[in-house]
Amino acid sequence: MNDTPTTHRRRPRYSGTHPTKYEQKYKELNPEKYADTVAHVISKGNTPAGMHIPICVREILDFLDIQPGQKGLDATLGYGGHTLEMLKCLNGEGHLCALDVDPIESVKTEARLRKQGYGPEILTVIHTNFSNIDQVAKQYGPFQFILADLGVSSMQIDNPERGFSYKADGPLDLRLNPEKGVTAAERLREVDREELEGMLAENSDEPYAAEIAKEVHAVFRRGERIDTTGELRQVIEKALSFLPEAERKETVKKSCQRTFQALRIDVNSEFEVLYEFLEKLPGALAPGGKAAILTFHSGEDRMVKRSFKEWNRAGIYREISADVIRPSAEECARNSRARSTKMRWAVRA
């Protein structure tokens, strides 16, 4: 028998009044327990750690015009903000399917929605990629409304263990489903210099793609590794060290954002998945059904715009948005992550 007394360990505390590390933001990570703290963070225009604030909710609901009794699909469940608002519109009648490829966050989101009273009779959560929309529609559709929010959720970005951000050191992973595929660190070791340069240019319009690709491969030639987000940031900083000091800091920041975005798109085959989704989307909609898509960078928006126009010319969509819809200035002030959002919509013939 072990008579050694158990030592009680207190939660790691932070000095001062504002925590900086993800794991120290325990109040923000418990919104039900610390609602006042979460409300205060949101009121300052920030997103609490572990949460995601849905974007363009009013614009989406105005367009979809969801009625009780309809069948709908949220192709990208995420934190469940859009899903919750659509469920409210159904008012207990009809059904909503919600898809998500992330096995970590989707389980948490489903538990929150179940706790709020949305059982399987009104909500079905399916752990699958939205490129499988045809299979879902075969079982649960066709749908009167479909929403796809193509952005990475804030809770994925903020958690350093997922490796989505250069701002905190963590494993260079970037997979939406960490149970499948190769990590971004592995992918970097696979590609040659020319392929990496092309990836940075095509996926994120990185103006210093050649310089960054050259420095990355210089690291590997020396027998060194790039396994963490911090190490990749250091490589980018060195690649851009030739820039004048006055502009270097801001340029490094933007190049880090674009490089991580390009890697994330590549690791998760995001363009290929989106193309497949757009090809299958009309077949999942009921006659007169509506689809709304939120994009967050130019490559995604070009694909959605092109697809909607082609299906419209073919008579498959009877109407499409003439131009992008953007979040209001007020919403962007409340949520800085809304600024790059573009919404397009289509109506099935």
* pLDDT per position as a tens digit, 72-116: 999 999 888 999 999 999 999 999 999 998 888 888 899 999 999
332 φ/ψ angles, rounded to the nearest 5 degrees: -65, -35
pLDDT at 60: 94
Helix axes 57-64, 81-90, angle to 10 degrees: 40
Instruction: Give the tokens for residue 268.
Output: 């998760």
What percentage of the chain's residues is helix, strand, coil (to nearest 5)? Answer: 50, 15, 40
Q: What CATH number labels 57-154+271-348? A: 3.40.50.150
At residue 245, does pLDDT exceed 70? yes
- Whether residue 225 contacts residue 188, with contact meaning beta carbons closer than 8 Å, is answered with no
The reported pTM is 0.82
Domain 178-267, CATH among 1.20.1060, 1.10.150, 1.10.1740, 1.10.10: 1.10.150
Cα distance between residue 114 and residue 117, in whole Å: 5
Q: Which segments of the chain belong to CATH 3.40.50.150?
A: 57-154+271-348
Q: Quote the radius of gyration of the chain (alpha carbons, Å).
A: 22
Q: Which segments of the chain belong to CATH 1.10.150?
A: 178-267
In the chain, % of residues over pLDDT 70? 83
